[in-house]
Amino acid sequence: MTAPTTERTELIHGLYTEGEPIVDTKAPAGPIEQRWSKRKFEAALVNPANRRKLSVIIVGTGLAGGAAAATLGEAGYHVKSFCYQDSPRRAHSIAAQGGINAAKNYKEDGDSVFRLFYDTVKGGDYRSRESNVYRLAEVSANIIDQCVAQGVPFAREYGGLLDNRSFGGVQVSRTFYARGQTGQQLLIGAYQALERQVAAGTVEMFARHEMLELVVVDGKARGIIARDLVTGEVETHLADAVVLASGGYGNVFYLSTNAMGSNVTATWRAHRKGAYFGNPCYTQIHPTCIPVSGEHQSKLTLMSESLRNDGRIWVPKKAEDCEKDPREIPEEDRDYYLERIYPSFGNLVPRDIASRQAKNVCDEGRGVGPKVGDFRRGVYLDFTDALKRMSAEAVAEKYGNLLDMYQRITGENPYEVPMRIYPAVHYTMGGLWVDYDLQSSIPGLFVAGEANFSDHGANRLGASALMQGLADGYFVLPNTIRDYLAKGPFEALEESHPSVVEAKAAVDARVAKFLSINGDRSVDSFHKELGNIMWEYCGMERSEEGLLKAIDLIRGLRDEFWRNVKVLGAADTLNQSLEKAGRVADFLELGELMCIDALHRRESCGGHFRAESQTEDGEALRHDDEYAYVAAWEWGGDSGAPVLHKEDLVYEFVEMKQRSYK
């Protein structure tokens, strides 16, 4: 692993150094509405006859990776696609419920590319790049056209045209949806396009394969080392460029709404090879998830926040009422705390505020539901008033699938007893740093979808994750990567090249190490402990004292992991404990960087609240003068400290404002 060589400062806080700022993101200058056209025009072209000689590895088959693999395959490149699941159709994009934004203005309600751009920048709390976000809004309409052509069954009106709804607090209806299964339908569209290319021979599919190392030769990304999860064989795959579309890292918290296998390994391994990690502390916590029911809990399930449109959120005023049947608590003993604190927005305050206030009332000892550890972690989401106002049939029509899901998981009937909800980690806005071309700080390594940091700033608006994944995969990456590929094919590379041999040997050694420790604790027990540390100190509310403590705890835990983890079974077979060990080992390193990033950002911004940065009445306080930048972290080596590179965010088209919801 290479240590940074550029100029940098002395240790700050004893934890990190600061290096050269990033001055060029490769975004063209000029009017914002012309930048993307200009970039596409200036990007070099690749002759169709040469494309099959150029190979691209794509890791991950979600919306970004699946769409990119299909599109590059259609264009005629030689694509190798990898996923750890048994089929590309399982990628976690499938679980997104709500919808996908697009500036079609079908409702003629004043929407436009500029308004979608503006809402997304504002929603990101002014911590995203204007050029990238404008491009996202610009291609959003093409995504809908593409998906409809593929047969994605979006909701339609009786006239046969597409239906839209408003979503996530914006005032226009621009969200396209397929009941509560929008992610599934979009993913199946991309999956089918991908399988069509597999049949055509342009894409080679490697399911049940996990990338464990990036191959960098002469400073360029040239391949990956992947483990065949069925046979255990450690394989070398070489190419002209590598794309990581491996999703987010919310599972560093152990409990999240991510899939069990969602992990940071692909991006973390690339980070250790020189790719900068952007804004790792930016995570989104979703307020309406089904609460933890006990120590056995393996994941959390989200319910669409549309429930807050008609449900009222409350906890008992008195801690001694928390064990009572909620139906027996009289109105005057209930605290509808969001309606009380935010009279104008009430239960519809943004995600971060709803989440933080839920944590606050539970920390006060007024949470409801089963005790997990020392606290009850839940608040009521009550449909009693809605049922009186609307009739049970009308509620079922609007929310039936969500209420059924709640009942299936909790065994309680939400038509009779108020539901219980609690916030859960849902999305990570941070990810590998990329330039306007989605290229990381390693030439030839591109990063798409949730795996990159680029478009959501410090907070993501509802229905924009699906938009970004497909924008990157179908329209952005295929255009920008050709500028890089046009310089190829690059020098032929043998598996015997020292850099390739070294990468493979590192993977073999790591696998052997996990199996040889033979300690006392399971991988899951370390993962749970890490998750508790992250949730407690690097979750919704952070403080300097807490973060410093978390860093110490994580270092201690990591040290114990490498001495005391117990991984049974063999290397040359399907071994799920071994897979988990590799992922948790990387989470143990990422967690520390997240805490360092959170510590250095002494402001409350977007999805996170910094205790030392609040207004007199306890609201989030941003510091644009000091922190309007992207924090891009460079790996400092196993024994070194991470190096911070700042990329200043310049707002030419949108004015920065403080949010207010009182």
Active site residues: 351
Nearer to other proteins, 255 or 533 (CB): 255
**CA-to-CA dists, residue 326 to 319, 363, 371, 382, 613, angstroms:** 13, 19, 16, 10, 36
Cβ pair 430, 282 in contact under 8 A: yes
Q: Least distance (Å) from other proteins to the CB of residue 297?
A: 7
Closer CB to other proteins, 203 or 442, in the complex: 203
- Within 13 Å of residue 640, how many CA atoms lie on the same side as its CB? 18
Report residue 379 as tokens: 């608040």
Q: Please give the DSSP secondary-structure letter assigned to residue 192.
A: H
Of the pair 417, 641, the CB lying nearest other proteins is at 417
Taking only Cα atoms into account, the Rg of the chain, rounded to an integer number of angstroms, comes to 24
User: In angstroms, what is the minimal distance from the CB of 641 to other proteins?
Assistant: 35
Considering the complex, what minimum distance in angstroms separates the CB of residue 239 from other proteins? 21
CA angle centred on 511, ends 226 and 434, rounded to 5°: 45
Report the residue number, 84 or 268, with the smaller CB distance to other proteins: 84
Paired strand residues for 335: 315
Q: How far apart are CA 661 and CA 462, in angstroms?
A: 17
CB of 146 or CB of 347, closer to other proteins: 146
Distance, in Å, from the CA atom of 429 to the CA atom of 449, rounded to the nearest integer, reads 10
Among the listed residues 553, 629, 555, 557, the one whose alpha carbon sits nearest the alpha carbon of residue 597? 629
Q: Are residues 609 and 537 in contact, defined by beta-carbon separation less than 8 angstroms?
A: no
Q: Which residues contact 598 (CB under 8 A, 6 or more apart)?
A: 281, 538, 542, 547, 608, 610
Cβ atoms of residues 450 and 248 within 8 Å: yes
Nearest by Cα to 117 from 32, 30, 31: 32
Alpha helices, H only, 151-308: 182-200, 265-272
Q: Which CB sits closer to other proteins, 50 or 192? A: 192
Residue 610, H or E segment: strand 609-610
By C-beta, is 94 or 632 nearer to other proteins? Answer: 94
Do the Cβ atoms of 286 and 305 come closer than 8 Å? yes
User: What is the smallest separation between the CB atom of 156 and other proteins, expressed in angstroms?
Assistant: 4
Determine how many CB atoms are found less than 10 A away from the CB of residue 483: 18
